[in-house]
Every structure is written in structure tokens, then in C-alpha cells.
Amino acid sequence: MTLVQMKPGSADATAAGRTVAEAMETAGPQVCDYMTVEVALSVMASARTRHLLVCDDRGLCIGLVTHARLAAVREGSAYSDRVRLRDILGDRGPFTSPLTTMAEAGHMMRHSHVDALPVVDEHGSALGVLALAG
């Protein structure tokens, strides 16, 4: 999905008011945080996706892992086949709401240096992913 980036004075004023709900991908594969990196990479390959949403034992979204992140962990010197997603997630977030404007989401992604954001409802359940094209 392509993130719309608006420039001041842009002729496409209707895109400026678009919300994340209009541009997000469906949630796709969701995995539990106790899953190992190896299994997550296998799920990712089977689903042909670049990222997975990670949920806790209550089913709430706690983050997103990318193929690049998992591959880097697997190549690390401290890696073992027992490393779980919860071990590599770090802090929760960033997340966005489906009501967030695309401009706000773009700013959040640039500030957080991420190319994909989990979209969650008011309870923390995953609704989808807003991802840069690529």
C-alpha cells in the first residue's frame, strides 16, 4: 500500500483528508508473542508477506515484526532456535487508529523510522496494517 505524502499547496486536497481506514491493508497473519523466530519466518514465507502482527495471550496487538528484523535477529551472534518474538519486540508500538489521517500517520512513520504501522481499534485489537509500498 502506498502512503500518500502531501506537500503544502498540493492540488490533490481530497487526499489530505483521507484516513488510515481507507488505505490500510487487512490485518493478514497474526501470531502470538511466544512463537519462535524460526516459526515466524516460516509463517511469513507461507503467507508471502513482509510483516506479521504480534499478539499477546489475550489476543491484543502488541507490535509488528518485519522479515528484515527477523532475518537480522537470526544472523546475530546471540541467536538460538529458542528465541521468541516477545524477546525481540522491545517497547510496544507505534500503532495508529483507523481514524488517523494519512498525513498524521505519515508523520508518525517518519518520526518512528518504520515502514509499516499496525492499525488497532480502541481496545487494542488489530484491524490492519498501513505499509509503505515496496
Our count of domains for the chain comes to 1
**Domain annotation covers residue 102:** yes
Q: Mean pLDDT in the chain?
A: 84
pLDDT exceeds cutoff 70 at 15: no
**Domain annotation covers residue 38:** yes
For residue 8, what pLDDT is reported?
Answer: 40
**Domain annotation covers residue 23:** yes
For residue 61, what pLDDT is reported?
Answer: 93
pLDDT exceeds cutoff 50 at 118: yes
CA 30 to chain centre: 11
Question: Domain range for residue 108?
Answer: 13-131
**Domain annotation covers residue 22:** yes
42: domain CATH number? 3.10.580.10
More confident residue, 3 or 97: 97
**Domain annotation covers residue 56:** yes
Average the pLDDT over 70-80 and give the result: 92
pLDDT exceeds cutoff 50 at 119: yes
21-32: per-residue pLDDT in tens? 998 888 788 999
Contacts of 14 (CB under 8 A, 6+ apart): none
**Domain annotation covers residue 103:** yes
